[in-house]
Structures are given as structure tokens and as C-alpha cells.
Structure 1
Amino acid sequence: MSDLLDLGGKVALITGAGQNVGRQIALHFAAHRAAGVVVNDYFLDRAEAVANEIKNGGGKAIAVQADVTDLASVKEMVGKAEKAFGPIDVLVNNAGNSGADPDPDARKPFWETGPAAWDSFIRVNLYGVINCASACIPGMIERKGGRIITIISDAGRAGEAGLDVYSGAKAGAAGFMRAVARSLGRYQITANCVAIAATATPAIEARLQADPERAKKILEKYVIRRPGKPTDVANMVLFLASDASPWITGQTYPVNGGFTFAL
């Protein structure tokens, strides 16, 4: 029986893939025989470390530095990717949070700040998605096929106190993806989101370990009482990128340990 998750022949671009969830998605794709994995990060050394990890394991990868909030930078990245491996079949919009260079006031209540702080979230989580999609979609239309997967947050589905603008930006990215799905379905291009909750990156693990009582209260909100793992997210992204999901589009899949439920 053939492996439906085999990506043989597909070229994938993952933004923000120099660490954490993005890194694991890149490793998953390489392990399932992607024809080429384009590892993007704002910091080239991080992207190179992941690309080398893939190549050392026998996979094909390149590292490309680009700022997803800058359309010209994104188009240059896509050009480098296509020169190395050919047209992009899978785009994973993973770059997020408050960006590589956040405003120092980004974590304050939004009503105490202004557009400079808000832009820290909006530019990377919404415009970054739009920029990357606009650069990759024409080629997908020409070839009549493709997968676009955007990593959002449960903050974008349910809202998160203290992360108002971030929540709005992630919700905007999800709405954008639903519209893209409607626009591109006739070209056999699917567009979906994966909504994640607390995932055990080094920063989150350090916070949980530093305050066990607070960690216990946080994890009580999860039906499966642990933070997520990057592999939990990468498993769903791989499914949506593969030939196992050709008739799924315009959806948002929570991978959140039961933090919130969806119909």
C-alpha cells in the first residue's frame, strides 16, 4: 500500500522554520521525501542550521533569509527557491508571534499603545501571510495544483486577553485563507489553517518550569493536560500538505490538546 503522506516530488517552503514548530515541520517534510525543503527565517544562521540538519539526514534543503513582512524580500526568496528546486508546491506560513524585531511596547495593553506596537503583530501574522501567498499562488495556478497551510493560534479562534491585536491578526489570516480557498479551488489548490495553543518551545517550557503552580493552572484548561509538542503540529501540517487531503480546503484545524473545541 502506498504512503499517502509521501511528499515525493513536492517542493515546500516553510517560513519561520529556523526553530521550534517551523523546524519540526521542515524535518517532517524532509522525512517524507519532499523533493526540496526551503527553510526560511529572518535570521540566516537559524535557517542554515535546520537546512544542514536535513541535508545531514539525506534530505534536500536550502536556507533562505527573508523578512516575510517585505514583499520584495519574499519575491526574492521565492525566486531563489525556484532556482534551487523548481516551482513551490507547498507553502507553509509559519512565521508569526510579534516578528523578529518587535516594538518594545507590543506586550502592553493595546489601548495604551499605538500603531507601531500593533504593527509588530499585524505585519508578520497577516501581511506576512498575504505576501507569501501572493508570491507563490501564480505558479500554483499555472500548474493547477498546490497546498497553502497557515499556522494560526487559538487566540485567533477564541480570543486571548492581553493579546488583542495578535488575536485579530491571526483571525484575519484565517479569514484570508478561507477566501483564498474559495478563489483557488477550481485550480486544485487547497488552503487551510492549523490553530495551535501552548506548544512546548524552549521559552514556554522555561516559563512553565519557573512557576509550577501557574503551570498547573494553565494546564488545567487543557483536556489533555500537557503543552503541545512541535511534532503534534507538524503531523497535521504534513497531512494537509500530502495527497491524503485533496478534498479539504477552507478549514481551520485546532491542534490544541482540547484547550478549545470546534464543531
Structure 2
Amino acid sequence: MDGKIGLVTGAGQGIGRAIAVEMARRGASAVAVTDRNKETAAETADLVRAAGTQAEAIVCDLRDRDSIAEMVTRAAERFDGIDVLVNNAGVTETAFTAEPARGVDSLAEEVWDAVYEVNLKAVWLTTKFAAPYLRRSPRGPAIVNTASVSGLTGFPNAPAYGVTKAGVIHLTKVTAVDLAPVRCNCFCPGVIETPLARDYFAAAPDRDAMERELTAPQLVERLGRPEEVAKLACFLASDDAAFITGSSYVIDGGALAWLGVRD
């Protein structure tokens, strides 16, 4: 990462934590890690420091505009700028309801709104507040957004999640245009072994059956790993990707490469 300063949202666990640690391993000079949970943010910051990089743990509620603004300001002031923004935080409907997963015709309106606020509005607001710092960066500024294959195709019983991730894909394109020469790309993970995926499986009537259903279309016969996704995210943030912007990259074990289902 050539001495760059990073800000990673949703870094308390899963893909976000893996990205923050991978940034440190690749030579970032500092990484601000944010999460709604103070303890998990601090754990990630410790892992970043153990990898030899300065870190700052920041608690942020991504449904609160002022909290987002404060997060960005604190990160920029702590490390004297922001070179890389990773909008990683994301939730599914099951984060806001104990009821079984619901379809588009039965999802509660308040659940739809909550998923939208975290998955899409917060990405826009974080980008908006970070833009002045990114524009001033002399070190190849870049934004990397976490989208999903569910933003490209249907996904059972998660209508708000899929629609908001489709929005992230399009927001990535317009951000690349509006903030150029700041680069902006996104990646679209498939089924990755994260707490988010585990919560989704747990909310299904038959957890094992749901996992089999979601991984059956993959050519790689397993769940993806956060560390594998982190390597793609850090490549997109690095100067090795200096000619790449406004694009989406699928990392899904081959699920979208065909129309088949493994036996």
C-alpha cells in the first residue's frame, strides 16, 4: 500500500477486518478501523498494529449522519489525511428482525429502511465526507466499495440487501466519474464465511439446507474466505490498479460463470 492511510468501515469482523489487516501487511502507514462495536473495533486495531502499522479504532453508527461525519474527521485528523476509503460495512434484513427471512411482499418497512441506511446511504455519506481529503491526497487516492453478487442477480428472501447492493454498484460508477481522478471500484463477493453469512444461515428454517442451496451454483466447492476477498480489495486500492476505475469485480467461486448447479 506504499505508505497510504486507510479508513475501513465495518472492520470489526469478517471481510472488513481481513481488509484492514491485509492493508497493514502490504505496507499501509496507518489504518483507521471502524465498527459499531467498540470491542471488535479495538480487536481489529490490535491486529493491524501487530502487523506493524499504526491503527485507530473508531466507533461509528452508520445510521447516524453526525456519527459518520465525526468518524471521517477523526480518522483524517489522527493520521493527517485519508488516501484510501473502504466502504465495507453491510447488513442483511436479519440484523433488524428476529422473524424468518422475508420476501419483497412481506418485508417490514422499517427493516427495509434500516438496511438501506447502512448499505447504501452510509456509503454515500462516508464518500461525501471523505471526498475533500481524498482529493488532496498525493498518494494515489482510491475508494473501494463492498457490493455483492446479490446486487447482480436475485437472492432469496433478502430484497433490501440485494437492491441496496445493486445501488452500491451504480454508486461506484457515478463516484468514479464525479470524483475523478480519485479512483472508485467495487467488488462483489459471493457466499463468504463471515458472521453476516452465518447470521443469514441461522435465520433460515434449515441452516444446512440454505448453505447448500447458496453454494451449489459455485464451481469452487466451499465458502469463500475473508482473506481471499481482502487481497482483491487491497489490489483495487493499490497503485497496481492505477488504470482501473468505475468497475465491479466478482469474487464468487464461479457462481455467475454458468447457469448450473452442482450435484
* TM beyond 0.5: yes
Given that 2:92 and 2:196 are in contact with CA atoms closer than 8 Å, whether structure 1 keeps it comes out as: no
Alpha-carbon distance in structure 2 between the residues aligned to 1:96 and 1:218 = 19
User: Equivalents in 1 of 2:32, 2:191: separation in Å?
Assistant: 26
For residue 191 of structure 1, what is the aligned residue in structure 2?
A: 184
The farther-off stretch of 241-250 and 195-204 is: 195-204
Task: Spell out the pairing of 1:199-238 with structure 2 (5 A cutoff).
Answer: 199-201=192-194, 204=197, 215-238=211-234
Asked if the contact 1:106–1:120 (Cα under 8 Å) also holds between the matched residues in 2, the reply is no
Match of 1:51 in 2: 45
Deviations 1:42-71 (Å, cap 9, x if unpaired)?
111100011012213322111000112222
Structure 1 position 217, deviation (Å)? 4.7
Q: CA RMSD in A?
A: 2.4
Instruction: Tell me the SS of whatever aligns to 2:144.
Output: strand
Output the CA distance in 2 between the equivalents of 1:36 and 1:250.
25
Matched residues, number? 253
CA contact (8 A) 1:21 1:234 kept: yes
SS of equivalent to 1:107: coil
Query: TM-score by structure 1 length?
Result: 0.88
User: Where does residue 111 of structure 1 map in the other structure?
Assistant: 105
Following TM superposition, by how much is the alpha carbon of 1:29 offset from its aligned partner in structure 2, in angstroms? 0.3
Contact 2:63 2:114 (8 Å CA) reproduced: no
Cα deviation, residue 110, structure 1 = 3.1
Contact 1:110 1:118 in 2 (8 A): no
TM-score for both structures, normalised by structure 2: 0.88
Determine which of 155, 159, 171 is the counterpart of 2:154: 159
Q: Distance in 1 between matches of 2:135 and 2:196?
A: 39
1: CA distance between counterparts of 2:35 and 2:197? 20
Shift of 1:102: 1.8
Q: Distance in 2 between matches of 1:213 and 1:166?
A: 20
Shift of 1:163: 1.2
8 Å contact kept, 1:103–1:116: no
Q: In percent, how many aligned pairs have the same letter?
A: 30
CA distance in 1, matches of 2:196, 2:161: 18
Provide the secondary structure at the position in 2 that maps to 1:194. Answer: strand
Which residue, out of 174, 181, 186, partners 2:176?
Answer: 181
Higher mean C-alpha deviation, range 27-36 or range 66-75? 66-75
User: Greater shift after overlay, 159-168 or 230-239?
Assistant: 159-168
Distance 1:219 1:79 in 2: 40
Alignment-mate amino acid for residue 35 of structure 1: S
User: Which letter does structure 1 place at the counterpart of 2:160?
Assistant: V
Q: For residue 168 of structure 1, what is the aligned residue in structure 2?
A: 163
